[in-house]
Amino acid sequence: MTVLCLVELDGTGAADASLRALTFAREVAAPGDQLAAAVFGEAGVLAGGAQAGEALAAYGVTDAYVIEPGQLAGYAPLAWARVLAGLASQTGADAVLAAGTDRGSEVMAHLGALTGQPMAANCVSAARSAPGSDGAGMWQIVRQRWAGLLLEDAVLEASPALATVATDTVAPTPAGAPATLTVHAHPPELADGDLAVRATESVTRSGGVSLATARVVVGGGRGVGGPDGFAPLEELAKLLGGVVGVSRVVTSEGWRPHKQQVGQTGTKITPELYLACGISGAIQHIAGCASAKHIVAVNSDAAAPILSHAEYAVIGDLHKVIPALVDAIKARGRSA
């Protein structure tokens, strides 16, 4: 059997979310199964010594299928799904997985529609039912519902099984020993209309760190007061080697773009440190930051719900606390 996993790229490396999905895929695969990856990118991205190629081998991938941009430029969800459908049948995959990212979820939903199979979103575990048992050919899955507030036990009857991985529940873990990776150039076979929706350009991130994978996230909510209030948070994030994330109020008000939103309808983050400034801690926000290793809150309200999730809190005005923190870090840098 083959377990096929969509691997997204972050620059020229494999995205952290995809490494988590590969870790999950390896757990799903039975001994002797092949772990295959589909990668949309330049051929060189997996060439000998390339970061993404080494990562795939380290995570146990034996066969990587590269779909080059010359043949399929940009991000086209339906076309990507068509390619995955072709690869699934070519490799005889009985499971096709992707990280539960925006792209992973969208492509897998299209794949479900194309193949007529159900797709299980946000899985935290999946196991084939034992051969010969009543449930042979079925998958026992556990998946997140309500943005991770509930776990659902479910049975998935599908061939191949289609699932996205709740990546905030899986730590990226390389295999014990790297696999020998064979890279195949895979020419896509598309149908009319597959490229009707296609993103050909995306804005390059300035620091190269994404919200989903940042080690430090400085969060700003309504308490920041407006678009101009984010400058000290940006400065602090830069000093700490992190990025700014925001609450939905902030994006709804148009103070910051949606791609910076943390939460149920935004990005799920898994940083070492989440510094939540002027954020009340609504359940939909916590759904996106609960996997942070340490949460520190800065809030003027000692009864704000975020405090029950935070390890430490500063009760005070963020407009005073954050500049003071920035000054303290700079002073420490000067004296070091």
Binding mask 208-227 for ligand FAD (x = CB under 6 A): -------------xxx----
Minimum CB separation of residue 216 from ligand FAD in Å reads 18
Count of residues touching ligand FAD (by CB under 6 A): 27
DSSP string, 85-149: HHHHHHHTEEEEEEESSHHHHHHHHHHHHHHT--EEEEEEEEEEPPTTSTTTTEEEEEEEEGGGT
DSSP string, 263-310: STTSB----SEEEEES----HHHHHHHTT-SEEEEEES-TT-GGGGT-
- Report the residue number, 84 or 322, with the smaller CB distance to ligand FAD: 322
Note whether 39 and 55 are within 8 A (CB). Answer: no
Binding mask 224-263 for ligand FAD (x = CB under 6 A): -----------------------xxx-----------xxx
Note whether 328 and 314 are within 8 A (CB). Answer: no
Residue 291 lies near ligand FAD (rule: CB under 6 A)? no
CA distances, 18 to each of 9, 24, 200, 253, 306 (Å): 8, 10, 21, 32, 29
Residue 198 lies near ligand FAD (rule: CB under 6 A)? no
Minimum CB separation of residue 322 from ligand FAD in Å reads 9
Cα–Cα distance between 143 and 167 in angstroms, integer? Answer: 11
Q: Which of 4, 35, 304, 326 binds ligand FAD (CB under 6 A)?
A: 304
Nearest by Cα to 294 from 279, 281, 309, 304: 309
Q: Which of 26, 128, 143, 285 binds ligand FAD (CB under 6 A)?
A: 285
Cα–Cα distance between 187 and 64 in angstroms, integer? Answer: 13
Nearest by Cα to 180 from 52, 63, 28, 66: 63
Site for ligand FAD in 37-56 (CB under 6 A): none
Residue 268 lies near ligand FAD (rule: CB under 6 A)? no
Residue 144 lies near ligand FAD (rule: CB under 6 A)? no
Q: Which of 104, 148, 188, 278 binds ligand FAD (CB under 6 A)?
A: 278
Minimum CB separation of residue 206 from ligand FAD in Å reads 23
Residue 91 lies near ligand FAD (rule: CB under 6 A)? no
Minimum CB separation of residue 325 from ligand FAD in Å reads 13
Q: Using CB under 6 A, list all residues that contact ligand FAD.
A: 221-223, 247-249, 261-266, 278-280, 282, 284-285, 288, 298-301, 304, 317-319
